[in-house]
Amino acid sequence: MVGSRKACDTAFSLFSLSLYDLGVLAAGVTQGDGHNEEVSRFAPQEGFYRKFVVRDGKLVGAVIIEKGLNRKAVKPLLREALLQRVQVDERQLGLLMKLFDFTAFKP
């Protein structure tokens, strides 16, 4: 209703950039705090950095920097995963792998 205050938990930031062959995606919560857990991996030899932020076992944010990242394919999947608050407890190790299948985020 107009004039009433209500929290909105379906809005989040989503940033995408390409610089030469380096793709960058940052979405949702990008830093851990007392309520969030960060799971990250930096592999310069393999050309990627990934950080995923999880709260109560659900994905709430991510930063992906990767050579040759197909942002056009990954961006909508990541967006949907954040909107759906995908459960990631069992996927956390997979999130760190270079060849992680982002289609697993589809609800």
CA distance 90 to 60: 15
| Rounded CA separation 59/16 (Å) | 18
**pLDDT (tens digit per residue) in 69-89:** 888 888 888 888 888 888 876
Using one digit for the tens of pLDDT, what is the confidence trace for 4-26?
776 666 677 888 999 988 999 99
Half-sphere exposure of residue 42, counting CA atoms within 13 Å on the CB side? 2
Per the CB < 8 A criterion, the answer to whether 18 and 24 are in contact is yes
List the beta bridge partners of residue 66.
Answer: 23, 48
pTM for the model? 0.79
